[in-house]
């Protein structure tokens, strides 16, 4: 074969790409071979630092940011504009806050679908921030999240943690650090009988809907003016619960530190 290539240059020139592939080498004479891929847009992982009380309009990747402000009760507001639309639930964008550009204070995730433009408000009342605090926008993929979580040692490989925000909590169960089950609890109390009855009816309808799904078990504990809605999502039968509109029901096998990172970025306290 080598002699054939050497003595028949015209044929080699005609079929150089096929022969090069057969020999396992690239064709350096083909401009297509070394042409950079200009179709792919580079994603910048982190923006420049901006002070909350300073510049409030800039562009980061496909997002145009404007109207940045901080209210006295520590509600961080901004407006996001895009050329067409973007689903931030899967895009992996966050706002991260720093003191003096050095000390990390906390982060909040940007979630929801943006069509052209949309205002956002992020509750950062539990963070030590003010108008002099710096912030950045960051793009974090699941694969780039660092494993900073050290679960309590368990010879069986079973671990769990609970994340709570106001009246809603999630218990995440893992085997060898991979998600196997989620238990969700919603608590509701109202002494107004009419309002309580309306809310109870909503949960009863939701329970009926959940009963149609494989791997889902739900129940309602009703005590006249207070209720608890309990739901268990077991990944033993299914790989995901995408039909249930809840971003906190991650794919089967999702690693514990990825879930911890995302839940805390939404303001949940996890332990």
168 & 99 share domain: no
Neighbours of 237 (CB within 10 A): 11
- pLDDT for residue 186: 98
Residue 125 placed within a domain:
yes
Residue 168 placed within a domain:
yes
How many percent of the chain have pLDDT more than 70?
85
Residues of the chain with confidence (pLDDT) below 50: 1-15, 18-20, 22-25, 28, 31-33, 37-39
Domain harbouring 250, CATH code: 3.30.1830.10
Backbone angles phi, psi at 143, to 5 degrees: -70, -20
187 & 220 share domain: yes
* CB neighbour class for 51 (10 Å; exposed up to 12, middle 13-18, buried from 19): middle
Contact 256, 172 (CB under 8 A): yes
254 & 194 share domain: yes
Any residues with CB less than 8 A from the CB of 213 and at least 6 apart, and which?
A: 241, 243, 244
Cα 251 off chain centre by: 12
126 & 173 share domain: no
Over residues 34-52, the pLDDT tens digits come to: 555 444 568 899 999 999 9
88 & 189 share domain: no
104 & 175 share domain: no
Contact 71, 77 (CB under 8 A): yes
If phi over 0 gives left and psi between -120 and 50 gives alpha, with beta otherwise, what is residue 5?
Answer: alpha
Residue 40 placed within a domain:
no
Residue 196 placed within a domain:
yes
- pLDDT for residue 41: 67
Over residues 66-97, the pLDDT tens digits come to: 999 999 999 999 999 999 999 999 999 999 99
Cα 231 off chain centre by: 22
Domain harbouring 66, CATH code: 2.60.40
123 & 202 share domain: no
Which letter does DSSP use for residue 263 in this model?
H
* CB neighbour class for 130 (10 Å; exposed up to 12, middle 13-18, buried from 19): exposed
Helix ranges (H only) for the chain are 2-7, 9-14, 16-23, 31-34, 88-91, 193-210, 256-265
Domain that holds residue 26: 2-34
Residue 146 placed within a domain:
no
115 & 193 share domain: no
203 & 115 share domain: no
176 & 96 share domain: no
The CA distance from 205 to 229, in Å, is 12
Residue 44 placed within a domain:
no
Any residues with CB less than 8 A from the CB of 101 and at least 6 apart, and which?
A: 49, 134
65 & 23 share domain: no
164 & 262 share domain: yes
Over residues 118-146, the pLDDT tens digits come to: 999 999 999 999 999 999 999 999 999 99
Which letter does DSSP use for residue 46 in this model?
B
Which letter does DSSP use for residue 144 in this model?
G
Q: Specify the number of domains making up the chain.
A: 3
Residue 181 placed within a domain:
yes
């Amino acid at each position: 074969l080598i002699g054939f290539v050497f003595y028949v240059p015209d044929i080699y020139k005609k079929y150089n790409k096929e022969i090069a592939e057969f020999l396992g080498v690239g064709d350096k004479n083909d401009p297509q071979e070394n042409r950079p891929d200009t179709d792919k847009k580079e994603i910048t992982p982190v923006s420049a630092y901006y002070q909350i009380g300073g510049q409030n309009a800039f562009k980061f990747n496909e997002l145009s940011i404007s109207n940045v402000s901080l209210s006295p009760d520590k509600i961080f507001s901004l407006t996001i504009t895009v050329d067409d639309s973007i689903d931030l639930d899967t895009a992996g964008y966050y706002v991260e806050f720093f003191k003096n550009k050095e000390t990390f204070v906390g982060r909040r995730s940007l979630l929801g679908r943006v069509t052209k433009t949309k205002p956002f408000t992020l509750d950062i009342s539990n963070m030590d921030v003010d108008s002099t605090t710096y912030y950045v926008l960051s793009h974090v993929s699941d694969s780039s999240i660092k494993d900073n979580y050290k679960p309590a040692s368990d010879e069986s490989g079973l671990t769990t943690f609970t994340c709570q925000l106001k009246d809603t909590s999630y218990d995440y169960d893992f085997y060898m650090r991979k998600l196997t089950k989620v238990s969700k609890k919603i608590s509701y109390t109202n002494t107004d009988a009419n309002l309580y009855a309306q809310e109870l009816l909503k949960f009863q309808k939701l329970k009926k809907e959940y009963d149609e799904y494989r791997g889902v078990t739900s129940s309602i504990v009703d005590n006249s003016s207070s209720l608890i809605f309990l739901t268990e999502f077991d990944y033993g039968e299914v790989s995901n619960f995408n039909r249930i509109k809840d971003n906190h029901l991650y794919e089967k096998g999702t690693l514990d530190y990825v879930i911890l990172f995302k839940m805390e970025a939404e303001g949940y306290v996890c332990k």
